[in-house]
Structure 1
């Protein structure tokens, strides 16, 4: 059975969403991020990314990690792409060209969008008023996102989905990155195709099931 190491309030959400789409049974080990704990090295600390047992599995000390039939794999995008290839039709690639395109869009999301999208999530989405420096960081991140989001906008406006004209792992990977920026209305209002596509992605039963699991976990 597939094992997912990591709480749902992490990038493991991408893997869990895909598993629900596929109908793939898995076991989840709720490893929490060390930075969320007052003393992750305390003897009574919950299993976390500093725990010796987890570090033996993942020397980088980062979640998620999966174990699949003897394969130990980290990096959430690598995990979703692997699972989609192995188990995921029609969510995985139908041929080598689709496989390449799914990797392209997944890497584009991680490299060109995720860092600034996370800035918006952590600062703009924190629920408190931003300081002057934070407001400047939010504005800078939003400005940098204009160009890569325009690329996604044009692609979705022309094709409807990321790859192959159907919902695939590329949509999951891209949507989960864009979700970080979704709450910044001044940015998102300029991208109607992205907004409509995100709404469709997040209305899927598999996403809703993952999201309910995420909300049930402690913040």
Structure 2
């Protein structure tokens, strides 16, 4: 059985969402991020990214990691793309062209969107006053996101999904990155096709199941 190492409040959410879409059973080992613990090196600390047993599995000390038979794999997008290819359509590629497009959108999400979207997630608190420095950082991150979101808007204005006009792993990978900036309505409201697509992705039962599991985890 597939094993996923990592709490759902991490990039493991991408893999878990895909597994729910695939109907793929898995075992989850809830490795928590060390930075979330007051003393991750304490003998009583829960299994975390600095635990000796986890570092043997992942020398980088980062989640998520999956084990599938003899394969141990890290990096969340590598994990989702591997599982999508292994289990095929409709979520995986039907041919080399679709495979390349799924890779393209995954790389675009992490190289052009994720860092600034994370800045917004960490600093933007809806209804709360930010410091001047935080406001400037949010404004700068939002400005940098205009260009990649404009590209995404143009693509989604002409089709329902990113690749092959069906919901695939490419949509999961991109949606989970964009989710970080989703609470900043002043930014996302400028891109109605992106917003409609993101809402459609998050209305899927696979996402809702993952999200409920995430909400039920300890913060």
Q: What pairs up with 1:201-212 in 2 under 5 angstroms?
A: 201-212=201-212
The answer to whether the 8 A contact 2:142-2:187 is kept is yes
Q: CA deviation at 1:125?
A: 3.4
Distance 1:126 1:183, change over 3 A: closer
Q: CA deviation at 1:127?
A: 6.6
- Structure 1 runs not aligned, ≥5 long: none
Q: What pairs up with 1:11-50 in 2 under 5 angstroms?
A: 11-50=11-50
Match of 2:62 in 1: 62
Give CA-to-partner distance per residue, 1:170-206, whole Å, 9 cap, x none: 0000000000011101101100001100110000000
Distance 1:99 1:67, change over 3 A: same
Give CA-to-partner distance per residue, 1:17-76, whole Å, 9 cap, x none: 000000001000000000000000000000000000000000110000000111110000
The answer to whether the 8 A contact 1:84-1:91 is kept is yes
Q: What pairs up with 1:66-85 in 2 under 5 angstroms?
A: 66-85=66-85
2-structure distance, mates of 1:104, 1:65: 22
The answer to whether the 8 A contact 2:120-2:184 is kept is yes
The answer to whether the 8 A contact 1:21-1:206 is kept is yes
Match of 1:124 in 2: 124
SS state at 2:3 partner: strand
1-structure distance, mates of 2:27, 2:107: 27
Please, what is the CA RMSD of the aligned residues? 0.9
- Structure 2 runs not aligned, ≥5 long: none
1-structure distance, mates of 2:153, 2:35: 34
2-structure distance, mates of 1:201, 1:98: 19
Match of 2:107 in 1: 107
- How many pairs are equivalent? 219
Q: CA deviation at 1:87?
A: 1.3
Match status 1:180 vs 2:186:
no
Match of 2:6 in 1: 6
The answer to whether the 8 A contact 1:120-1:181 is kept is yes
SS state at 1:39 partner: coil
The answer to whether the 8 A contact 2:4-2:67 is kept is yes
Match of 1:151 in 2: 151
1-structure distance, mates of 2:108, 2:150: 13
Q: What pairs up with 1:161-200 in 2 under 5 angstroms?
A: 161-200=161-200
SS state at 1:85 partner: helix
Match of 1:137 in 2: 137
2-structure distance, mates of 1:93, 1:54: 32
Runs of 4+, deviation exceeding 4 Å:
none
